[in-house]
Amino acid sequence: MKEIVFATNNQHKLNELRAIVGDRFRILSLAEIGCHDDIPETADTLEGNALMKARYVKEHYGYDCFADDTGLMVDALGGAPGVYSARYAGPGHDSVANVNLLLKNMEGKTDRSARFITVIALIMGDEEYTFEGRVEGHILTERHGEAGFGYDPIFQPVESDCSFACMSSEAKNAISHRGRATAKLVKKLTE
C-alpha cells in the first residue's frame, strides 16, 4: 500500500484524514517518521503555510507528504481569525480560549456569516500541488455539541441545522472544508 506522510501535529486532523482516505493509502504521522520538530508556519496565507509544512518534511525527512492549513473566516470581523485561527487568543493553540474570544468579538453582531477554508499542499517527488476546500456557514451565539475539535462547537454549516460538533465524523467529513479538499487530494493520489 502506498505510504504518505501527513505533516500535522493535530491528532484530530490525522484521525479525520485517516477516516476519509480509508485503506486506499497508509497515512504516516510525524511521530511515525521520527519527526518531533516544531515545524514553522509563518506565512500569511493558508497556501503558504501548507506548502511550508509539506516542504519542511520533504527537505528534512525525504518523504512524499502533504500538509493542510485551515482558517475560519468571519465576515463581520473582516475575515479574522483567518490564517491566524490557531493563535487567535495568543500563542499556544488553545481552542477553548480561541472560541471564547471569537464569541466575545461577535457579541451584538447581526451578520454572523463565516466559512472554513482548508488548503492542502501535496509534494510528490519534484511536483507540488495545492487543493482547496471550503464550507459556508455561520457563527452560533454559544457552544453546541461535544464532538469534533477547534471551532466546531460554534460553526453551523449551511447544509445542517446544528453545529459541526453535533455531527458524526462521517457527516462532518461529507461536507467539511477538509473533506472537500481531501477528495481532491485523493483524486490526485489515485490518478
Q: Which is nearer to ligand ITT, 110 or 144 (CB)?
A: 144
Size of site (CB under 6 A) for ligand ITT:
21
Q: Which residue is nearest to ligand ITT (CB)?
A: 150
State which H helix or E strand residue 19 sits in: helix 11-21
Q: Using CB under 6 A, which of the segments 90-98, 104-112, 124-132, 138-146 binds ligand ITT?
A: 90-98
Cα–Cα dist 99/65, whole Å: 30
φ, ψ for residue 97 (rounded to 5)? -65, -40
Q: Which residue bears the cell 508556519?
A: 41
CB-count burial class (<10 Å; 0-12, 13-18, 19+) for 126: exposed
Q: Which of 44, 64, 68, 69 is catalytic?
A: 69
Q: From the CB of 44, what's the least distance to ligand ITT, in Å? A: 13
Binding-site member from 150, 156, 173, 181 for ligand ITT (CB under 6 A): 150
- My answer on whether omega of the bond before 81 falls inside 30° of 0, hence cis, is yes
> Interface residues for ligand ITT in 25-54 (CB under 6 A)?
41
C-alpha 188: how far from chain center:
19
Q: How many CB atoms lie within 10 A of CB 18?
A: 15
Instruction: Establish if 144 lies at the interface with ligand ITT (CB under 6 A).
Output: no
Is 8 a residue that touches ligand ITT (CB under 6 A)?
Answer: yes
Of the pair 86, 123, the CB lying nearest ligand ITT is at: 86
- Answer yes or no: 69 catalytic: yes
DSSP state of 62: -
- Which residues are catalytically annotated? 69
Residues that bind ligand ITT (CB under 6 A): 8-10, 13, 41, 68-70, 85-86, 93, 95, 98, 148-152, 164, 176, 178
